[in-house]
Amino acid sequence: MRTAPRRIGLLGGITWHSTLEYERLLHEGVAAALPGRSADLAIRHYEWGAIERAQAEGDWDGLAARFGDDARWLVDGGAEAILICANTMHLVADRVQEAAGVPVIHIVDEVAGAARAAGLERVALLGTGFTMRMPFYRERLASHGVEALVPPEPRLTEVHALIYERLARGIVDDAGRALMREATAELLDAGAQGVIAGCTEIPMVMTAADVEVPYLDALALHADAAVRFALSD
């Protein structure tokens, strides 16, 4: 086993709440394997408002260029792999990979692997409106043999609004928890065998303790994969 972890580059601040959780899990994971040590991280932490505006304007090319440039900057600072600390921004992961020249640990691959390990063929996907409406997440899951179900309207818009108008601002309440439980129950009734927390803020209002089916926390699975990479030879 390595005596010191590899450096991981984080593209974070999407939102800051989830990026702090990434950092905690990375540090705890390394410390568990290497007592007395912590994760070695290089971080580009974005101002969330600027990212939110670019997403709302549909400027995915601009975001891809920004994230690619910043990934290269992290690599120049010694990062040996990149984490995009958000589900939605994996829409531009392939372009970040091209720019970085080092592995971009893909969140959907980790979720799909966990789903397959749990024997799941059909799962509920809850995330931002971009993640649920656009095909990039569902198609990558499908390439691993996992079908994703998303809420119909108006539930889909309600989940998106919860994330952007409340969770991204750190507002956590019983109404948000109830909405996530209801959205999950509806998709389970439609045939889902488990649920993906496909937005890094969803664990703020729903955890494994809230459901009776396999719960796939994309953030935690992503962070665990990064720890494995950091400790690999």
**221-233 tens-digit pLDDT:** 999 999 999 999 8
Domain that holds residue 113: 108-218
pLDDT band at residue 2 under the 50/70/90 scheme: confident
154 is a domain residue: yes
Mean pLDDT of the region 126-144: 98
CA angle 220/44/233 to nearest 5° reads 55
- Residue 113 shares a structural domain with residue 205: yes
The DSSP annotation for 16-80 comes to: HHHHHHHHHHHHHHHHHHSTT---EEEEEE--HHHHHHHHHTT-HHHHHHHHHHHHHHHHHTT-S
- The per-residue pLDDT for 39 is 98
User: Does 227 lie in the same domain as 188?
Assistant: no
Average pLDDT over residues 213-220: 98
Structural domains counted in the chain: 2
Strand order in the sheet with 147-149: 147-149, 122-126, 194-197, 215-217
Average pLDDT, the chain: 97
pLDDT at 99: 97
Q: Tens digit of pLDDT for each residue in 68-77? A: 999 999 999 9
98 is a domain residue = yes
The tokens for 142 are 């499908």
Q: How confident is the model at residue 97 (pLDDT cuts 50, 70, 90)?
A: very high
CB 159 within 8 A of CB 179: yes
My answer on whether 194 and 146 are in the same domain is yes
Do 80 and 21 have their domain in common?
yes
Q: Please write the tens of the pLDDT for every residue from 175-206.
A: 999 999 999 999 999 999 999 999 999 999 99
Looking at the structure, do residues 25 and 61 belong to the same domain, yes or no? yes
Find the CATH number of the domain harbouring 148. 3.40.50.1860
- Token pair of 7 as six digits: 């450096």
User: Could you give the CA distance from residue 111 to residue 221 in angstroms, rounded to a whole number?
Assistant: 7
pLDDT at 1 exceeding the cut of 80: no
Identify the residue whose tokens are 């540090």. 27
pTM of the model: 0.96
Same domain (yes/no): 25, 72: yes
Average pLDDT for 54-74? 98
At 172, the pLDDT band (50, 70, 90 cuts) reads very high
CB 34 within 8 A of CB 4: yes
**Residue 200 neighbours by CB distance under 10 Å:** 31
Question: Using CA atoms, how far apart are residues 186 and 40, in angstroms rounded to an integer?
Answer: 41
Q: Quick one: 157 and 70 in the same domain?
A: no
